[in-house]
């Protein structure tokens, strides 16, 4: 066939391979989803799906849902467990990336909450959610422009912080590269970073954290 789906991934890593939507026809996605539903037992997801394509794919594999803000297709979500993750986003334009992070987190069974529009230029907005951030088992920080929210949150909580730079902004933002570099240069120790706009990557990183500990208890 046109693809060699990694069906062993669920056994190896605890989650079926997630399908990356762009560059695939609706036909191809339908076939891959059908294969994953048949050969794996956990949640099946397709990321970055346009609304037009979503409808057609869903008809091929009933039982799925589509989240238009996150642009995510989902079948067989996991039951929500006890691991609490909080997604915090700096600006309203960062919402789609934050939505992808939150939707994938929930799909893999994390107890997920989200808060938006918490830019550091209004530091009160960050202080208002400080207790909620400190109560989470992990935090995902979504921020474009200069990405400063990762440093501020990273210095406030003791739990793991995964930062997602976004391509939001213009000019010196360099389509997310500035935020990515700034998050790496962060003065807050132990903050880790994933690719630009990769809400998906951050969610899987937190899934690894939740799962690893779950496995050894």
Ligand X SMILES: Nc1ncnc2c1ncn2[C@@H]1O[C@H](COP(=O)(O)O)[C@@H](O)[C@H]1O
Helix (H, G, I), strand (E, B) or coil at 115: strand
Helix (H, G, I), strand (E, B) or coil at 65: strand
Residue 71 engages its own copies in binding (rule: CB under 8 A): no
Number of residues this chain uses to bind Mg ion (CB under 5 A):
1
Residue 28 contact, options Mg ion, ligand X, its own copies, none, Cβ 5-8 Å cut-off depending on partner type: its own copies
Residue 62 contact, options Mg ion, ligand X, its own copies, none, Cβ 5-8 Å cut-off depending on partner type: none
- Which of 13, 93, 113, 192 binds ligand X (CB under 6 A)? It is 93
Q: Which residue is nearest to Mg ion (CB)?
A: 117
Residue 66 engages ligand X in binding (rule: CB under 6 A): no
Distance CA 152, CA 188 (A): 7
| C-alpha triplet 26, 31, 36: angle, nearest 5° | 125
- Name the one range near ligand X by CB under 6 A: 90-98, 105-113, 173-181, 206-214: 90-98
End-to-end CA distance of the chain: 41
Check if the beta carbon of residue 73 is closer than 8 Å to that of residue 169.
no
Task: Give the residue carrying structure tokens 């994933």.
Answer: 194
- Which of 118, 133, 141, 142 binds its own copies (CB under 8 A)? It is 118
Residue 132 engages its own copies in binding (rule: CB under 8 A): no
- Which of 40, 61, 178, 198 binds ligand X (CB under 6 A)? It is 198
Distance CA 153, CA 127 (A): 10
Token representation of residue 188: 């807050």
To the nearest whole angstrom, how small is the minimum distance from the Cβ of residue 15 to its own copies? 8
Residue 147 engages its own copies in binding (rule: CB under 8 A): yes
- Which of 77, 116, 117, 129 binds Mg ion (CB under 5 A)? It is 117
- Which of 93, 111, 113, 132 binds its own copies (CB under 8 A)? It is 93
Helix (H, G, I), strand (E, B) or coil at 73: strand
| Pairing verdict, β 44-47 and 19-20 | parallel
């Amino acid at each position: 066939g046109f693809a060699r789906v990694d069906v062993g991934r669920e056994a190896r890593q605890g989650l079926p391979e997630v399908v990356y939507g762009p560059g695939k026809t609706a036909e191809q996605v339908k076939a891959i989803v059908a294969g994953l539903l048949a050969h794996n037992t956990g949640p099946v997801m397709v990321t970055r799906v346009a609304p037009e394509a979503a409808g057609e794919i869903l008809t091929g594999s009933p039982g799925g849902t589509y989240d238009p803000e996150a642009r995510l297709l989902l079948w067989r979500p996991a039951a929500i467990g006890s691991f609490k993750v909080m997604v915090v986003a700096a600006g309203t334009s960062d919402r789609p990336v934050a939505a992808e992070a939150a939707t994938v987190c929930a799909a893999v069974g994390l107890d997920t909450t989200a808060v938006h529009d918490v830019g550091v230029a209004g530091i009160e907005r960050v202080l208002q959610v400080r207790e909620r951030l400190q109560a989470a088992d992990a935090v995902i920080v979504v921020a474009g422009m200069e990405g400063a929210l990762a440093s501020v949150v990273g210095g406030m909580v003791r739990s793991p912080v995964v930062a997602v730079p976004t391509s939001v902004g213009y000019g010196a933002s360099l389509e997310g590269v500035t935020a990515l570099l700034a998050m790496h240069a962060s003065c807050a120790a132990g903050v880790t970073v994933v690719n630009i706009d990769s809400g998906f990557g951050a969610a899987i990183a937190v899934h690894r954290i939740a799962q690893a500990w779950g496995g050894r208890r």
